[in-house]
Amino acid sequence: MFKIREQGSSVRTEILAGLTTFFTMSYIMVVNPLILKDAGVPFELSFMATVIATIVGCLIMGLYANYPIAIAPAMGLNAYFAYSVVAAHKGLGYENAFSAVFVAGLLFVILSLTPLRTKLIEVIPGSLKNAITTGIGLFIAFIGLRLSGLVTDHPSNLVTLGDLHSPQSILTLIGLAVTLICLALRIHGALFIGMIVTGMVAFFMGQLKFDQGIVAVPKLPDSLVVFNPIDAFSDVVQFGLYAVVFSFLLVTLFDTTGTVLGVAKQAGLMKDDKLPRAPRTLIADSVATLTGSMFGTSPTSAYIESASGVATGGRTGLTAVTVAVLFAVASFFMPLVGAVSGIAAITAPALIVVGSLMVGHVTGIRWDEIDEAFPAFLVILSMPLTSSIATGIALGFVAWPLMKVFRGRWKEVHPLVFIFGILFLFQLIFLPH
């Protein structure tokens, strides 16, 4: 089913990759409900919705698309939902806001069944594809540095070196050293080994505690938050959520597209600069978004943390299925997951190392051509600085066709790139992001 041998992998490697991806992204089970709680969503409701949406997305991605890419509620979109949608619209409850997510998810499913999104992946210029992968690498490395405390806020310079004597920084440096030594010695599963060792050290240092116990029986919601399309569309019309639906649709569309391309390129899964079975990856994300909205969570996206599993050797859908199984099991261990997720130093080294590996794709950019180089530079620079993959892609899509026009090479630009460049320009100027 997964064609593991054809991809030069093994069952053990794929399961290990799934474990690595799971531990790297498991924080979403705690962080997502905490953010949505600010919108009035009950923690237990959004926790189970997060788990369910992730399981659905990963199973479709693994069994149907056969890619080692995990799907889960997207960071950034959850904050947008809580603070720019619910909080910004007077009288809007979270139930009505989820109607906008439902409508966006429904449109997303319909779009995924058409050739448009697959065609979009094919027409993205090569320089932008390499820039997206590189930008994601810098982004996730920066996330690792920030979460670990190795880099902290600075009043005038924005960021600066953190306190290297803090427990989090020490743990991160230990994990980074263990991971890099294992990579240098070509030990398989280096990232996972680094996380296990860091977790053990954190426990003996007294940083990792299990105050809330380890096991808790998960509670399924009594009813769906959204289930009637007519009511959902009615809420969008009543509260004027058209711009919200458009933002969710556009950002999710390109966030996932960029991440899938970046991770697939990192894994060497691209064929002739095209992604086989691309429509199936899109269906996985769109169905997960639709399902998540029904149970009570914000839109999903392909996770950049999947790159950690790919770096461990994951090449097939078994990696994604392993993530789905682990999320299902983890739903019974909410206290344990919460404790581990609260120690950023356990996963930060993996993010930093994977980021360094992905930055290697910068060599695929034609730096001697300004119309190729500057849009790519804009993508790479903006992703970590704006903390948004979608914003980086948007700026690239706006700059690339403009540079081609000014250089008299407008014939090299596919019409779809022009169309989405205009849409992104509109979104950047007029819509919240």
* pLDDT per residue as tens digits for the range 51-95: 999 999 999 999 999 999 999 998 778 877 887 788 777 788 999
Q: Has residue 118 got a pLDDT over 80? A: no
**Residue 388 contacts by C-beta under 8 Å, 6 or more apart in sequence?**
76, 382, 433
Which range scores top for mean pLDDT: 323-332, 341-350, 388-397?
Answer: 323-332
Q: What is the structure's pLDDT at 314?
A: 92
State mean pLDDT over 326-333.
91
Q: What is the mean pLDDT of the chain?
A: 87
Say if CB 317 and CB 61 are below 8 A apart.
yes
Q: Are strands 158-161 and 300-302 parallel, antiparallel or unpaired?
A: unpaired
Per-residue burial over 107-146, b if 16 or more Cβ lie within 10 Å, else e, is bbbeebeeeebbebbeebbebbbbbbbbbbbbbbbbbbbb
Output DSSP code: residue 362. Answer: G
Could you tell me the pLDDT band of residue 426, with boundaries at 50, 70 and 90? confident
> Please, where are the H alpha helices in 153-277?
167-184, 190-204, 229-239, 242-267
Residue 360, pLDDT above cutoff 60: yes
Indicate the pLDDT class of residue 344, thresholds 50, 70 and 90: confident
The structure tokens listed for 348 are 């930060």
Residue 87 CB coordination number (10 Å): 14
Q: What are phi and psi of 310, to 5 degrees?
A: -65, -40
Q: What is the structure's pLDDT at 241?
A: 86
Provide the H-helix boundaries in 154-189.
Answer: 167-184
Which structure tokens are listed for 397?
């899509």
Tell me, what's the pLDDT at 374?
96
For residue 99, the one-letter residue type is S
| pLDDT surpasses 80 at 27 | no
Q: Which of 169, 176, 174, 171 is nearest to 150 (CA)?
A: 169
**Which of the four pLDDT bands, split at 50, 70 and 90, describes residue 121?**
low
Q: Which pLDDT belongs to residue 337?
A: 67
Instruction: Name the pLDDT band for 338 (thresholds 50, 70, 90).
Output: low
Q: What is the mean pLDDT of residues 22-37?
A: 83
Residue 157 predicted with pLDDT over 70: yes
Its pTM surpasses 0.85: no
**Tokens, residue 205:** 């240092």
User: Is the pLDDT at 145 greater than 60, yes or no?
Assistant: yes
